[in-house]
Amino acid sequence: MATAAVFLPVHFYELKIYDLYMMSWRCILMLKPDQTVKNSFSLLQIAPTLAVYFHIALDSPARPRPIKRILEFAYARYPTPHTVLLLVVDSLDMELYYELGNELRTLHRLAGQDGFMLECETVSNHTTPAIASILTGLTPESHGILTSADVGRSTRKSILELMEDQGRKTGAVLEKKGSEPLIGRLSCVYGISDCADIVEYDRQITEHTISMLNKHRLHLIFAHIRTIDRFAHRGWDLHRAARITDRNVSEIADAVSGIEGLLLICGDHRAHLSRASSGERIVDIKAKVPLIVAAP
């Protein structure tokens, strides 16, 4: 009966366009066999997928398709939406995900035992436009957020702001300047001052993310950790960066488990490796990054 309640709104005359859109996706999930969906994904599909899961309308006229496999997984675990934590691991591309597999054990366990991993095409090789695309479902050309100075000026709303507008509480834990345009627009915003010690910075991001998960009943939380990116830029030991990152992810995953939430972890662009360690690697826009979906 609980499942039926999800599919049948009480008053049909109250249906809005996005209700019908969401219902059509539920019907597709029920009726179409899995092999009808192409096995090629993009970071642009994360926001539309979250929008369907939380029954939210996006403001983009040309948004890409939600990812059916994520919705199937999410509905199978929790037929009514539970808290989702969206964690961006800066510069985690497919090559580093496998090369640092010994250190990134928690990420591989989440993908192998508690969920799955999809390879997603990137849309930019820079953090700010890439994260704006993850949060809006729009290309950098469409959202126009290319530098941190553009963050407060864009007229396009992120999935976090759209959820707030439509009655779902959201939060974000990120760098202080990037967080400032979100203050007053989300239920909970925590900005961490950028500092030379990136390990300490990520520790604070992790602690405040866990605190936000435990103290506030939010539907969606966004967080962004940066140790791998900083170490890659400086040519430092990426195995150490991966161990530090994995420890933070492990603590966050435990907190998500404690509140019976869903965890989405993705990279944002191909790693910017320093000349000394990059070899023949070319930093191009169309790279692939992992998107891990788990119910830890």
Interacting residues toward Zn ion by CB under 5 A: 90, 127, 268
Q: What are 8's two structure tokens?
A: 């049948």
Residue from 39, 74, 33 nearest 54 by CA? 74
In the bound complex, what is the minimum distance in angstroms from residue 229's beta carbon to Zn ion? 5
The nearer residue to Zn ion, 123 or 255, going by C-beta atoms, is 123
DSSP 63: P
What lies within 8 Å, CB to CB, of 286 at 6+ separation is 121, 122
CA–CA distance from 125 to each of 131, 164, 180 (Å)? 10, 29, 23
Nearer CB in complex with Zn ion: 108/270:
270
CB 195 within 8 A of CB 201: yes
Q: How far is the CB of 91 from Zn ion (least distance, A)?
A: 5
Q: For residue 92, what are its two tokens? A: 């985690």
Query: Is 188 or 241 the residue whose CB approaches Zn ion more closely?
Result: 241
Decide whether 66 or 267 has the Cβ nearer to Zn ion: 267
Nearest approach, Cβ of residue 13 and Zn ion (Å): 46
Both tokens assigned to 37: 């969906």
**Inter-CA distances, 27 with 20, 69, 172, Å:** 10, 14, 32
Measured at CB, which residue is nearest to Zn ion?
127
Residue 224 beta carbon to Zn ion: minimum distance, rounded to whole angstroms? 8
How many angstroms separate the CA atoms of 122 and 133, rounded? 9
CB of 285 to Zn ion, least distance (A): 13
Q: Specify the residue, 126 or 185, whose C-beta has the smaller distance to Zn ion.
A: 126
- If we measure between CA atoms, which residue out of 22, 33, 123, 161 comes closest to residue 81? 22
202 or 268: CB nearest Zn ion: 268
Q: How far is the CB of 125 from Zn ion (least distance, A)?
A: 9
